[in-house]
Amino acid sequence: MVSISEIPNPMKNIFTTILFLLVLTTSFAQEDAWIYFTDKPNVEVAIANPLSILTQKAIDRKQNHNIAIDERDVPVNEAYVTDIKSQTGIVVMAKSKWFNAVHIRGTEDAINALGNLTFVDRIDFANQNLNTSLRSASVFNKTEIEESTVAFTYGDTQNQVEMINADELHLSDFTGEGMTIAVMDAGFPNVNTMDAFQRLRENGGLKGGYDFVDRTTAVYDFADNNHGTKVLSTMAGFIANEFVGTAPDASYYVFRTEDSGSENPVEESYWVEAAERADSLGVDMINTSLGYQTYDNPNYNYTPADMNGQTTYITKGASIAAEKGILVVVSAGNSGATDWQTVGAPADSPHVLSIGGVNADGDYVSFSSQGSAAQIGYQKPDVVARAGLTFVIDDNNAIVQNNGTSFSAPILCGGIAALWEAIPEASPTEVMNYVRQSASQYMNPDNFLGYGIPDLNVAQSLAVIGHNQELKAFKIYPNPVTTNLNIEAPIGINQMEVSVYNQIGQRILSQSIFENSNHLDVSGLASGVYVIELSSTRISKTFKFIKQ
C-alpha cells in the first residue's frame, strides 16, 4: 500500500525543476574575475623603508636567505581598490600585492566595463569560456574521503612520527622551536580552548590568525568545519602519554581561507592573501591541506592538464611564496581513485613540497593523488607520509583516525620544522632537497610515492655533509701574504663579511667583500699571525694567516 505522501506529483516536479534552473541561472549570472592593475604608488620609497611594509622578522628572513625585497612586497594602490568598489554591480572579494590584483564578483558586462579604467591592466575571468578557452570536469569534494573515524588506542601515534624518523629529531631536542608555520585551512574551532593545544598556548606558540572568508579576527569561532583543527593537531597537538604532534614547540598562525559551504575560485584569492600576510609576518613555512580542481560553477573548472605548475592563480601564488623564502608544504590531494587522478592546485607547483599518502605499513593508499604528464620536468608528489587512518584530534578534544593527504602533509611539515631547527643555516630549497634525497626511493621515483618516505634523520646528516663540503670550498691565498689576500667562497655566496683579529683577539679590520671583488688589502698590517673570519648569511669559517 502506498501512502498519499509517496505518490509522485508531476506538477510539483515541474515546479521544482523550474525553480532549480532559475536559482542556477541567477547564481551563475554573477561571474568571478581577477583585475590586474597597471602600477603601484611609491614603490621606491616603500622598498627603501621596508619596515613600512614588512615586519622585522620578515625582513630578517629575507636577508638570511638572500631574498630581495621587491615591488611585489608593496601593497596595492588602495585608491584603485576604492575606485573598483564604487563601480556599479562590482564587489571586491580579495586583493593581492604579489599579483597587484583584486578578485572581484559581478555581472559579465560590469566586469568588462572595468577595462575602461586607466589603471586596469587586464581582466582574467575565472570562467575561462569568457577568456576564449574551454575547461570542463566534474565537481570533486576534496574532503569527502576524510570522514572515517574510529577509536584511538594508546601508542598508535608513534607510527606516523617514526615513519619519517621525526622521533630521532625530538630525542635530540629538535621539536620545531624557533620555527613559525602558517596553516591555511577551512576552520579551527576550539583551538584557543582545547586541552590538546594548552601546551602550545602556554608556551606562546599560538600566534593568532585571521578568517579571510568572513573577514574577522574571530578565526576560532567558525564551527561548521573542524578540518583545520585536525590538521593543526598533527603538528602542534599534545596530550601527555597519548598524542604528540611532529612539531609541538613551533609557533603557528592559523588562517581560514576555505569556504566549506561552496566551491568558488575566490578561495584561491583568499589563499594568496593569507600567504602574503604570512610573508609579511615572517613565517618560515606554510602548510595547506587544500586543493582546487573543480567548482560549483562548471565554467570555472580546471582540467588535469591544467595541473602544470603555471596555470592556476593559487599555484602561481604558492610559487611566489617559495620565491619569498617560505617553504610551502601542500597535500597532494585525494583524487587517486577518481577520474581526475592527478595532484590538484597548488600541489602542482614545482616550487612547493607536495605530500602524497601511504598507510601504516608504508604502502601507497589508493586515494592519494598521483603525478602525471602535466608536470613536465619535475616529480609529483614529491614525497609521502602516513595518510591512511592517521591519528588526529578533533574539535571535541577526542583522538580519532581519519584518511587523507590532508594529514600526511602537516605530519611531514611539522617534521621538517624540527629538521630545519637542526640545520638553521640551510635555505628552503636546500631543506626540500635534503628531504627528497633522504627518501626511500630517491633513485627511482614514480607517480605514486614520488621519491618515497623521507628519513628526516638522514636528511639532517645530508645537511651536515653539505655544510662540511661548503666549508671546504672556502680558501685564502697566498699564505703567507704581503699585500692582497685572495678569498674563495662556495658557489652561490655573493657577499661575505670579513673580520681580521690580532693574536690577543682584537678586531683590527672589518669590511664586506663581493663576488666581483674577492680580495682583502692587508698591506697596512704589521708582520705577524692573524685570524680571519669569513661569514655569509648561512655559513662562516675562520683561518690563520701570516702577514710578511
Closest to 336 (Cα-Cα) out of 453, 258, 452, 447 = 447
How far apart are alpha carbons 507 and 522 in whole angstroms? 13
Positions of the chain with pLDDT under 50: 1-27, 133-139, 143-144, 148-154
The predicted structure's pLDDT at residue 152: 28
Q: Are 254 and 228 in contact (CB under 8 A)?
A: yes
Closest to 38 (Cα-Cα) out of 121, 97, 116 = 121
The predicted structure's pLDDT at residue 6: 36
The predicted structure's pLDDT at residue 541: 77
Could you list the active site residues?
Answer: 185, 227, 406
How far apart are alpha carbons 452 and 385 in whole angstroms? 8
3-state secondary structure 286-347: EEECCCECCCCCHHHCCCHHHCCCCCCHHHHHHHHHHHCCCEEEEECCCCCCCCCCECCECC
The predicted structure's pLDDT at residue 27: 45
Peptide linkage before 381 cis (omega within 30 of 0): yes
For 380, residues 6+ apart whose C-beta sits below 8 A from its C-beta are 332, 342, 343, 347, 348, 354, 370, 371, 372, 447, 450
The predicted structure's pLDDT at residue 145: 53
Q: How many CB atoms lie within 10 A of CB 19?
A: 10
The predicted structure's pLDDT at residue 42: 87
Q: Are 32 and 102 in contact (CB under 8 A)?
A: no
Q: pTM of the full predicted structure? A: 0.79
3-state secondary structure 199-221: HHHHCCCEEEEEECCCCECCCCC
How far apart are alpha carbons 170 and 168 in whole angstroms? 5
Is the sign of the CA dihedral 366, 368, 374, 380 positive or negative?
negative
Closest to 288 (Cα-Cα) out of 212, 214, 362, 218 = 212
The predicted structure's pLDDT at residue 155: 64
The predicted structure's pLDDT at residue 213: 97
Report all structural domains of the chain as residue ranges with CATH numbers, in order of start.
Answer: 29-40+75-131 (3.30.70.80), 144-466 (3.40.50.200), 474-547 (2.60.40.3080)
Amino acid making up residue 123:
I
